[in-house]
Structure 1
């Protein structure tokens, strides 16, 4: 299994859990409503009444409607605000939830899609309606994702090395460029100790050094929703530490304080290792333990700090013009 497939499993499994929870929530109510629709099939007025009364069983449903076997709507849209007759006769056969294989029994929950009118992430459940043991149509139930009371648990960021290729236009011209010495390059012996001090002693938990543009962005544990921008004058002035309170290094940090300097020294090495393929920006986050690197070819690497610190790791041998 390659790196992309390994990453995909994590977020796809998280999504699958949410879809399973939604299906469990709505399958029985939809089945009951579909049975009542079958009993009054195909009378529009009676179908509308059935849908309107059934909505109380689906408090998070945005719209309920009935389609014939060809995907043409034969009811109004029933909503919690009332009936919407303008949808009667609408051909939904080409909507995402009606394309592909439809169920012959039970319910099918569509993949998420952007709704046609509000252009918001939505899903639709399609329930088979059977009358005299034959399929006569479908019950559709639209859900806006923002209305669903699901857990929405965050999926875990993958903890393996990932490489992402950047802009093809930059990659195609990479051998025509050479590193231009920046002010941060010239003052790197001053910059790195100050960044280390801010992380280890002054509450900075995420820092990104932009070597080519002489700046850094940092995030502080006491104000994590906003970043600070440090220009080169601030980065080479030790008094910048007065601007940030002394803080105990977080006990739940994945990266140990003594590992910060070796990581920053790794940035230095990658910045000066080659005049064509060189580090443009590097960042470190002490909580998720990831090191992020962006190179002159616009390729990016994300890898656990332990792998970055291990010079026998394949990452270090991959840093060729093709591998970066």
Structure 2
């Protein structure tokens, strides 16, 4: 519930920012609703009144787009008539009659996390359709909050379950993080290179990730694999430039995460239990199934081939 509270606060801020101008625009659409050219022109003239949006358009109550796509660069009417009823925000549109924000989704056009604001257009008692504004999460005025993590007892219970699993069987036990590892690592790579995360630790067996953000370096936050896979994570951590304090390149970050994956999955008995990476000091931390932790420079870590790890570990097993 703690991460949901943080995201809920972000949504309240965004709703307060977007709802008034969206409501005003919806009212202006009513007189020109049946004249598509005038409707497009109105959207273009009012585009700047919807802060931070990169696209606005109008759909009817069945999810069919009736206006052009209107952006800062002009009016694009070749999309009129397309069926948008399967868009993430459309599932719960009808009979909604109040402003709403969609869940975060990945845009097929830009590949970036997006969110849509939807405002019903109602002429007295007649429901006409919706004005929709799309926003790139990376361009929204979000802030990193310092919310408290779950109680320690919660994570202690998680740790007890992990120990119990390893007492019952020595081979690697797949967690949800293992099953969706490629997706989780892709999200983590993006959070590090584009969203201000400078230190991370992956606990594979328990399926948890610990993240530290540059704007809140004195606290770490724990996330489950499910939370890491939720696009709402991009609401929690706003877009930011790659840190100029990083001693690793973005390419090296990706390579380290890929090597973590290899060391986790290459062998059922000798495997990575946790891996950490810090951009600022360039250090990697490793804990294997057969002995204690090791720390080294990420560049040294990448220089070692797989035979080093598995021959060395097997000798100490």
The match for 2:34 among 42, 46, 63 is 42
Instruction: Give the aligned partner of residue 82 of structure 2.
Output: 90
Q: 1:93 to 1:22 in 2, by over 3 A?
A: same
Q: 2:106 and 2:47 mapped to 1: Cα distance? A: 23
SS in 2 for 1:49: helix
1:150 is displaced (CA, Å) by 2.2
Residue 116 of structure 1 and its aligned partner are, at CA, apart by 1.8
- Cα-Cα RMSD: 3.9
Task: Say whether 1:78 aligns with 2:70.
Answer: yes
CA contact (8 A) 2:18 2:51 kept: no
2:105: which partner in 1? 113
TM-aligned CA distance change 1:281 to 1:94, over 3 Å: closer
Q: Partners in 2 of 1:280 and 1:97 — Cα distance?
A: 39
Cα distance in 2, alignment partners of residues 109 and 124 from structure 1: 6
Measured after TM superposition, the shift of residue 293 of structure 1 is 11
What stretches of structure 2 of length at least 5 have no aligned partner?
Answer: 173-198, 202-217, 219-243, 249-268, 277-284, 291-317
Identify which of 116, 131, 138 aligns with 1:139: 131
Q: TM-score, normalised by structure 2?
A: 0.51
TM-aligned CA deviation for residue 86 of structure 1: 2.3
Match of 2:23 in 1: 31
- Partner Cα distance (1:176, 1:104) in 2: 51
Query: Gaps (5+ residues) in structure 1?
Result: 1-8, 178-205, 209-220, 228-275, 284-291, 298-324
Change (3 A) 1:65 1:43: same
Q: Secondary structure at the match of 1:64?
A: strand
Q: Note if contact 1:31-1:106 (Cα within 8 Å) is conserved in structure 2.
A: no
What is the aligned residue count? Answer: 189
Larger Rg: 1
Structure-1-length-normalised TM-score: 0.50
Alignment of 1:88-237 (within 5 A): 88-102=80-94, 104-160=96-152, 161-162=154-155, 163=158, 174-175=169-170, 225=246
